[in-house]
Amino acid sequence: MVDPIPSIMKDFGTWQLRAVLLIYLSKIPAAWLMACLIYTGPAPKTGDFYCKPPVSVEVQFNETRWIAASHPIMGIAGTQEPVVDYCNVFENSVENYNDPTLTSWLQPSNDTKIKPCPEFEHRSGYKSIITQFDLVCSRYLLIATTQSAHLFGVLLGGIISTQLLQSISPRNLMLLGMYIQIACGCITGYITVYEMHTLFRCLSALFCAFMYTGGAVIMNDITGGKFKTVTICLFEQFWAIGVMLLPGLDMLTNSWSELYLALSLPTFALIFLHRWIPDSPRWLLKQGRIREAKACLEEAARCNGTEEHISSDFEHQLKSMSEAAAARPDPDPWWTIWREKAPVRNLILLHLAWGIFLTMYYGTLLNITAFGREQIHLNTVFAGASEMTGTFIGLCLIMLTKNKWQWCGLFNVVGGSVAYLAWLIPTDITNDDRVALLMGTAMVSKMSISCSLALLFTCTAELVETSKKSGAVYSCTIWGRTCFLVAPFIVATVKFGQLIPLTAFGSIVIVGGIIVLCIKEKPQAKTQRNSIYPETMLTSINRLPEKTADVFEHRF
């Protein structure tokens, strides 16, 4: 039986363009909620906080005198100013404060006991999660923990949405994600308990994953040929656009709570536009919903001018296709990919590449906070522009070159090496010049990372045997998402030095580049490039992970 759907929908037309652009918009709130930690948890400057004085001192409180009496000194800075240890206090600080003869800073001695400060007072005018939950000193790693919880929501959202797509249509999955993401995002901004804040960050990410996972399945079904390749790559551009728009929202708000509202409420616009997003025709056929599939395809024919391809027995054809799809057996579980006797070289390399580049993507974005708060808005826009550039380079490698993996690997080796140049930047130049040079060294590797992700999202399925495609894409996605949970903790190493995380990311990117260089493209891959998904959605709709579109689940 001839499949009439491709001739009705065409590879790409006005109908697909409208749907794809609306689906792309779902990436923007997902990017906002992932990257918002740059602004909701800004690194505190020296003196932004100090140990909160006891009630007995508050009555006659003098801030400068209290800091001098309570906090030990770690040394003298180059400006001859004392470097204060704001994380610890003298046990006898109350007595010292009340001593009217105190005229200089106290120095710790053998008979002066020092203990960690139990509670802090914050001077920063901007209310952040750091000021809300005292995330300084011994609680510093909790900043990374809340971000890791968000990334865990992405991992969990991909797994759950894949299962829900067995019974919920991709279009309805998007709508479900939109409604609950708004609720969870708004609640996250007004929770005053750290543990609950972390939980709702996880839930917000989970339902963001519903939005773009459902959208990815729809795009996979309604596009074809080279347009499918382009559509997949450009999906990531709207993630970068979201990152570039984030500074504007931050400038409109005065606290982390207001920022969460500003990030979450715009999704109502997506709910309004959702009416113009079609459902996946093949998913509908698989579920026996023939009338809905017919209406969807008739709308596509009207928009694309292909109504002449709708035959008089069109509904009968769809019914036959639906029965054939429902009769197909379930695929083998994804973990059976490792039981094949065929070589697994590419399979192992792909897993390593997925783990490295997803981790590096999130890590390098969050690490722009290491370059200071003064230029953070401009740096965020620069990071988003670097992502867009890297994705376009990846698309060009896919469409125009024969050895795309080798060129991509070389790009990463060079990009990672550039990060080491940060150590050569002089410290005696102005702060703005130094930050600009540091961003320059960091963003070259960010471009190479985005280039690698473009290739991985688009071309993973074509590198493995047909029998492994479904399981390979799903396995790589889950492995990559598991690995990126450590990204925030690599960023947290900035506590030991401004260039430590940058150097770590550069080194790992070089390793990733070497791994990509070792990937061996299958000879037949070139002929399959315009058909990345070798089996139609109809024959494999009940094994959704086979689609490289499911790879899109890697982000929130």
Indicate the pTM of the whole model. 0.87
- Note whether 500 and 493 are within 8 A (CB): yes
Q: What are the per-10-residue average pLDDT scores of the chain (556 residues)? A: 78 92 94 92 81 73 78 69 82 71 57 82 83 89 93 93 91 95 94 93 95 91 88 88 94 90 94 93 90 91 87 85 78 73 79 95 92 89 94 92 92 95 90 91 94 91 78 88 94 91 95 93 50 34 37 35
- pLDDT, position 526: 44
End-to-end CA distance of the chain: 39
**Could you tell me the two tokens for 114?**
């020092």
- pLDDT, position 470: 76
Which helix (H) or strand (E) is 516 found in, with range?
Answer: helix 500-517
**Could you tell me the two tokens for 109?**
């001695």
Which of 244, 222, 233 shows the shortest CA–CA distance to 171?
222
Q: What are the C-alpha distances in Å from 424 to residues 394, 418, 499, 505?
A: 29, 11, 11, 17
Task: Name the residue type at position 194.
Answer: Y
- pLDDT, position 534: 32
CB 515: neighbour CB atoms within 10 A?
22
SS (H, E, C) 7-56: HHHCCCCHHHHHHHHHHHCCHHHHHHHHHCHHHHCCCCCCCCEEECCCHH
Which of 215, 230, 225, 240 shows the shortest CA–CA distance to 457?
230
Q: How far apart are CA 136 and CA 51, in angstroms?
A: 11
- pLDDT, position 26: 93
Q: How far apart are CA 331 and CA 417, in angstroms?
A: 43
Query: Per DSSP, what are the bridge partners of residue 76?
Result: 82
- Note whether 119 and 77 are within 8 A (CB): no
Q: If you search the block for the tokens 């929130």, which residue do you land on?
A: 556
CB 302: neighbour CB atoms within 10 A?
13
Burial 521-539 (b: 16+ CB within 10 A, else e): beeebeeebeebbebbbbb
- pLDDT, position 61: 67
Q: If you search the block for the tokens 């960010």, which residue do you land on?
A: 446
